[in-house]
Amino acid sequence: MNVKAGFFKRLKALSLPQKKLFAVALCQRMLPNYQLFAEVCHFGNPAVLETLLQLLWQSLYDNKLKLNIELQLAKLEENTPEPENFDVYGVYPALDAVVALSSLIGALESKVEDDIINISKLSSATVANYIEAIAPDEMTEQQLEDFVFDHEVMQEERQLQESLLTIVEEQPQPDAVFIKELRKEIVANGVSNIGISLN
């Protein structure tokens, strides 16, 4: 299920601002999963995630902006769904969206760059779990693996991460104009990594 050979090597080779940009873009793309779950299950406040994402985008080009990481983590915790409390599949992608943001701001505080890279894997895992959930029953392990790997939603996820990585690689010093444009594009697209759109 890995993206083409060399993908993570290329990701690791990015500068910290580039890695952060890549991760924030993936977190933005996971947001509709949480928004839909919150709407359907009347749980949580999507505005907490939306505001944090706005601050993260802004922090990419505004060095004066300092995030209160502890406060943000506490807010995320208050809005984290417990899967055992819900009998809908949507709790899992919603939980992944919160975990991705928590991992990102935790990584920014600890400066552990691998944790930022793991958001790429988390986004792909959300997709893989979704495809497994909709897969026909009675599949062998190998058939299920092939089904997940070949599924169009997984293909789209891989293509998107690949093209996002290429775009970020081409911007060694991402400036405010580039960052705002990329954010606008992802928000306007409004489709999550598992194809959820609230537009």
Higher confidence at residue 29 or residue 5? 29
Quick one: average pLDDT of 175-181?
A: 96
User: Which are the contacts of 57, defined by CB distance < 8 A and separation ≥ 6?
Assistant: 24, 28, 179, 180, 183
Residue 109 has pLDDT above 90, yes or no: no
pLDDT at 79: 98
Residue 4 has pLDDT above 60, yes or no: no
Model-level pTM?
A: 0.94
pLDDT tens digits for range 144-160: 999 999 999 999 999 99
